[in-house]
């Protein structure tokens, strides 16, 4: 019996997504870039654009958050 996606661990969910990316021949660099961008955007939404809280929750310095957002062309962290 297969588990529902919502019942899987984070590791299991990531394995499924990564398998699909590998099957589609998504390059490693692009996969990491996309993950990082979505991670930052999602965390930022959770903390309503508060950069300090977002950075703390992510375990990075606020300046690192700013520079990564700029590098990933995230227009507005909100």
Domains of the chain, with CATH numbers? 26-78 (1.10.10.60)
SS3 61: coil
Give the Å distances, CA to CA, from 40 to 3, 4, 13, 15, 57: 28, 26, 19, 20, 10
User: In this predicted structure, what is the pLDDT of residue 3?
Assistant: 80
Indicate whether 1 pLDDT > 80: no
Type and span of the H or E element at 35? helix 28-46
For residue 78, what pLDDT is reported?
Answer: 61
pLDDT band, very low/low/confident/very high, at 19 (cuts 50, 70, 90)? very high
44 in Cβ contact with 37 (< 8 Å): no
Give the DSSP letter of residue 8.
S
Instruction: Give tens-digit pLDDT for 21-74.
Output: 999 999 999 999 999 999 999 999 999 999 999 999 999 999 999 999 999 999
């Amino acid at each position: 019996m297969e588990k529902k996606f919502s019942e899987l661990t984070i590791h299991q969910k990531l394995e499924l997504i990564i398998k699909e990316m590998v099957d589609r021949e998504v390059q490693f660099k692009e996969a990491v870039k996309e993950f990082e961008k979505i991670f930052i955007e999602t965390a930022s939404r959770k903390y309503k654009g508060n950069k300090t809280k977002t950075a703390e929750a992510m375990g990075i310095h606020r300046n690192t958050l700013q520079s990564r957002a700029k590098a990933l062309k995230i227009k507005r962290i909100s």
